[in-house]
Amino acid sequence: MATRNSNSSSTFSVIGSDVVIKGDVAASADLHIDGTIEGDIACSSLVQGETSRIVGAVEAETARLAGEVSGSIKARELVILRSARIDGDVQYDALTIEQGAQVEGRFAHSTPNRRAEDAKPPAKPAAAAPGSEAEPQLKIAQ
């Protein structure tokens, strides 16, 4: 069900509690999920109801999670409500977690510096000196 607000051009879609989707979901609109999604989700803004279940990766500008998520989450602004149960790694710019929420996974803050460091190629190992046997060596950068 999609609804258009007559005062603005924003659109949102609702996936009801009786709906099960097996496959990826991509929405340019805001998305409210009360049902079950077995696949990856990409949208602008995500609101997940308490009875909702997502099995797959979630990527959104903003996300407000209250149900179950089994998969990675990447959101600029993320709110994890007390009823949420998350099993997966979480990447965020701003994070709020209510007391009582259950999260199993690693948290990583997305910063411009970290993204630049992640994009750098790894350093090349030094070549062995001519005539010496090439044994693996450990060098510690200072």
Transcribe 102-126 into DSSP letters.
EEES-EEE--HHHHHHHHSPPPPPP
Instruction: Name the least confident of 10-14, 19-23, 72-76, 103-107.
Output: 10-14
Residue 124 belongs to some domain of the structure = no
Q: Which residue bears the tokens 């600029």?
A: 76
pLDDT higher than threshold 80 for residue 71: yes
Count of residues in the chain: 142
Residue 129 belongs to some domain of the structure = no
Rounded Cα gap, residues 43 and 10, in angstroms: 13
Are 34 and 14 in contact, with CB atoms under 8 Å apart?
Answer: yes
Domain count, the chain: 1
Structure-block tokens of residue 136: 């693996």
Residue 79 belongs to some domain of the structure = yes
Query: Collapsing DSSP states into helix, strand and coil, what is residue 112?
Result: helix
Residue 48 belongs to some domain of the structure = yes
pLDDT band at 82 (very low <50, low <70, confident <90, very high): very high
pLDDT higher than threshold 80 for residue 140: no
Residue 133 belongs to some domain of the structure = no
pLDDT at 7: 41
Structural domain boundaries, residue 17: 2-104
Residue 14 belongs to some domain of the structure = yes
Q: Pairing relation of β-strands 2-4 and 11-15?
A: antiparallel
Residue 91 belongs to some domain of the structure = yes
Cα 141 to its chain centre, rounded Å, is 33
pLDDT at 133: 54
pLDDT higher than threshold 50 for residue 11: yes
Q: What is the pTM of this model?
A: 0.72
Residue 130 belongs to some domain of the structure = no
- In eight-state DSSP terms, residue 89 is -
pLDDT at 112: 60
pLDDT at 6: 40
pLDDT band at 139 (very low <50, low <70, confident <90, very high): very low
pLDDT at 4: 42
